Amino acid sequence: MNEAKQESKVPAVIPSLLKNWILHIVYATLDHIPPFVWEILHVITDIYFFWIQKLITYIRPHSRVIYYNAIKKLDECDTYQMWCQQASVVDEITGANLWRRNFFSRRYDFNSVIEQYTILENTLREEKYDVVKEKFSTTGPCMLRNFAGIGDKKLFTKSLMGTKLLIEQYLTRILEGLDILNNETLTPTSFFQRCKLSLGTTALILQGGSLFGLFHLGVIKGLLLQDLMPNIISGSSMGACVASLFGCLSNDQLKQLLMDDNLINIIKNDVDLLKSCGYGNLEQHLNLGTLIQNLIHHGYSQDVYLFIRFVMKYIVKEKTFEEVYQITGKVFNIVIHPTDKSCPNLLNYVTTPNVLIKSAIECSLGSGVISQDTSLLCKNLENEIEPFLNINKDKQVKFLTPENATNPSITESPYTRLTELFNVNNFIVSLARPYLAPLVVNDLKHEIKTSKYYYYKHYPNMPPINANTVGRTHRPLSQSPTKALTVEEIETEPMMSPVPPSSAAANDSAEYIIPELGIPQLNFTEMEPLAFKFKYHLERKLKNIATMEFRHRMEVLDNLGLLCSMIKRLIIDEKTPRSATEIAVVPRMKSLSLTRIIEGQLDNIPYWIKSGERSTWPALALIKTRCAVEFKLDDIIRIRRSR
């Protein structure tokens, strides 16, 4: 019987040995390729893409060249202020600034928003603060994050600058009302606490990213600089390491660390840290075959490994979740996937206060990734370090990587536990996978990128708008299908507002309803007079269908156990509760660089920080709409408690 078992094992071992032998040959070959060969390939690739771009520019119509040149300048912006200036130019070219001024849309109930805006405006002007309190109470509509559908992502895909001006002014009135109740009335703190409880809480989720995990640093920086960073953060795998950086430092310390080259300078000054991560001196790197081997079998690049070691040495040290919370007051969570179901899968100062953050990061990365002996450690009452789990010697607990973990049920999901503990109903998800950008369905894809199908009709009767009451608008991009305007011509065009002759009654009604807005209405029931609307919507719907079908097939294969770990690492995501709203921030495909991933150079750290920050800018308008009232309440409560 034993001989039969041994004979059956022999054929199974042969393919494994053959695979390892082939991989060994490939890695050895890559190690011995001279560096000048790769430099020649880089030059050839650059020349190829240069002439491809020249050909595309030659074929495109002149109006499209103007548009794409304006879009290209967005990628060259170094600050959010510069990006906003260029985004306003793009909005003028596409006509999105006209769309913003027109408050009509089927995506939200603008009549309800107008009604509530008018009530707030009148009560604040007449100082009827009891009515304002009623609107802000748990029975009022102002403490609803998605009141009348104002948080719908589709309302933020037309314009790079934001959403409808009516929605922005409505939120501004709510913030003004909160300031007045805080400063000019005797409203107790408990009132603002009840408002916050009714509104809910926002959490930032850093999902995975073993290859592009440094992208999370840029997302945190982009939110911090705009004062939109939530106080609750959760991370898994490489995201847990980045989340620990946020949880252990104050916001001021974190801003200083991420500004300029402060982070990379600290790393460069630690020669021992560089040598322990395989860098040697600053210009020396491992051979290409060794780097690829480490990338495939361990799942992280050299620069990511360096950052993990930096965080463990300089940031977390021997701190516990409770110690960090007492210092910073931040709710910092780490997601792990243990094989022992008695161990919690969400670690924070509530569930595991005495657990060492350092050991939690290693467990979140998975057993065998950073160290072979991965275990969860904690501090006892005598401040001595000991294992967190009391396991028999015969039973070994392993911690799985996110792609190898079985999908938990909705009740066992760590993010469901997060919503239960901290009243979270809104997620900002940082998904560090640029190759999945076209397939992600919960991110913010601006539809103006497909505006080659847009052609705004020209209305002959266009009365001028008073420049003192409204910002600049523009005429349609082209007065005829064959004559296009340049950006300079658009800027010199007189400020006009297309108003169909049959809409005079509607215009009078609109001015009568909300004279406080000061926004001249364009009175399109939908500001989308498109010549090729059917073709545009057809392409968009086909893309959505293909995306959902692909993701569904991958999930089915994953449930059947037919996906290998490498593909699961690239495709399968952790899911947030369906009861919560969600917005994903994803790197752009332009950020994907295979040479950066494989070589793992030191300049990857500032590169990915800038890439993450730029990817955050288009989503800031949606984040402000969903979170501005919540963060205002947090500020009021924090200031009152500090008195």
Residues designated catalytic: 237, 403
Structural tokens at position 1? 């019987």
Alpha carbon distance 443, 587 (integer Å): 10
Reference 177, options 138, 119, 231, 228; nearest CA is 119
Alpha carbon distance 21, 138 (integer Å): 67
Classify the C-alpha dihedral 300-301-307-309 as positive or negative.
positive
Alpha carbon distance 518, 166 (integer Å): 10
Q: For 540, phi and psi rounded to 5 degrees? A: -65, -45
Q: For 450, phi and psi rounded to 5 degrees? A: -105, 25
Q: Is 484 left (phi over 0), alpha (psi -120 to 50) or beta?
A: beta
* 408 burial level (CB within 10 Å; 0-12, 13-18, 19+): middle
Residues paired with residue 346 on neighbouring β-strands, in sequence order: 335
Spell out the alpha helix ranges (H) of 165-261: 165-183, 189-199, 215-225, 238-248, 251-258
Structural tokens at position 352? 């595991």
**Which amino acid, 106?**
R
Assess contact for 445 and 595: CB atoms under 8 A.
no
Alpha carbon distance 177, 153 (integer Å): 26
Residue 400: CA atoms inside 13 Å, Cβ hemisphere, count? 17
SS3 (DSSP) at 508: helix
SS3 (DSSP) at 489: helix
**Which amino acid, 338?**
P
Q: Is 123 left (phi over 0), alpha (psi -120 to 50) or beta?
A: alpha
Assess contact for 224 and 254: CB atoms under 8 A.
yes
Neighbours of 595 (CB within 10 A): 13
Helix (H) or strand (E) holding 425: strand 424-431
Structural tokens at position 405? 């973990």
Buried b (16+ CB within 10 A) or exposed e, 520-543: bbbbbeebebbeeeeebeeeeeee
Alpha carbon distance 274, 73 (integer Å): 36
Assess contact for 532 and 453: CB atoms under 8 A.
yes
Structural tokens at position 549? 């079908």
> In sequence order, what DSSP letters do the residues of 114-141 get, joined into one string?
HHHHHHHHHHHHTT-HHHHHHHHSTTSS
Pairing mode of beta strands 232-236, 201-207: parallel
* 621 burial level (CB within 10 Å; 0-12, 13-18, 19+): buried
Pairing mode of beta strands 232-236, 331-335: parallel
